[in-house]
Chains A and B, each alone.
Chain A
Amino acid sequence: MNDELQKKVADAIRNPKNIGEMSDADSVGTVGNSECGEMLRMWVKYREQDDEKVIDRATFQSFGCETAIAVASLATELIRGKTADEAMEMKPEELSGELGPLPPMKIHCAELVQGALRAALSPEDHALGQAAASSDTKPGERVPTLQDSLNEGQAKSGGLNVRFLEE
């Protein structure tokens, strides 16, 4: 990564926008696998504008690298006010916005963001919770979050037995 891109990524990371779950989201999309340390989830909320449904706001969580976080931060800003179709048409290089062209090895980061966005915007996933249906989450269970990635133990909550050593 060249110095200029590194600086832009660092700037975006220093003050990432739209991080965190959205409790009242209309849809959610997830790509990647939390176990391998690369996962990105996006939440989208719509509003009506001129008889059209446009994106009111979007948030994300990521356990990916700095570039993925930076691209997701920028992308969630860029898609505001767009319809789902307009946002779906955005290419990875557009989503990376002011970061500019990404080197080949970093394109995957923007593709990760594009994948999460498409998962959140695709009609079949618009109902909150449906996106999780593609995972191994059972109905009624909490959708795994990135916190689970940080805390593998909590993902196993309920199945752990603590045995004190002196006993």
Chain B
Amino acid sequence: MQKVLEVFPGAQRALFRKYHIGGCSSCGFQPDETLSGVCERNGELPVAEVLEQIRQSHDEDARVLIEPSDLAKLRGKEADVRLVDIRSREEFEAVQIDGSSMLTQELMQEILGSWNNDQSFVIVDHLGGKCLDAAAYYIGHGMPNVRALRGGIDAWSLEIDSSIRRYTLN
């Protein structure tokens, strides 16, 4: 499974969402297990089908990501695209993309309770490592037009707006 995860970084998310495997200790897998072994102890899932699901999810991940340059163009064309920043308050207050909103509990409820399911919005994190999980969460709630900023605000700073200072956390 370690190798599966190296080739398909989103494999665990795909397995959990589709088959409820790998989400918690009760359904987790070990890095030295084989995919066929995991499939066998989870209701003898067909390995080929599961692998195809992982591949599809991998491709879908790529489609969920949006390049910084494409987001810049999109913001120019679609005024109503929202940016939801999932970083910490400290990070958000230090640097932010103009017009973005920090994800608070209130915003979380607003998104799920009040936003149109077709609303376009983009998840922003620091380096792009967590935004896909957040986007997958909203997609799982029936919001298909959520995207995840590739490389996070760091890539935005490097490629679009150098006035946004890059940072590390310690």
Contact = CB atoms under 8 A, between A and B. Distances in A.
Interface stretch (B61-69, B70-78, B86-94): B86-94
Nearest to A67: B20
Nearest to A106: B20
Contact of B140 (A13, A147, A162): A13
Nearest to B25: A36
Main secondary structure of the interface of B (DSSP, over half): loop
Nearest to B23: A38
Main secondary structure of the interface of A (DSSP, over half): mixed
A16 interface: yes
A134 interface: no
B159 to A, nearest CB: 15
B133 to A, nearest CB: 8
Interface in B132-166: 133-134, 137, 140-142, 165-166
Most-contacted residue by chain A among B18, B43, B90, B166 (CB, 10 A)? B90
A166 B109 CA distance: 37
Contacts of B28: 36
B136 to A, nearest CB: 10
Given A13-B142, A161-B170, A165-B167, A153 B88 contact: yes
B112 interface: yes
Given A13-B142, A161-B170, A20 B103 contact: no
Contacts of A153: 86-88, 90-91, 126, 169
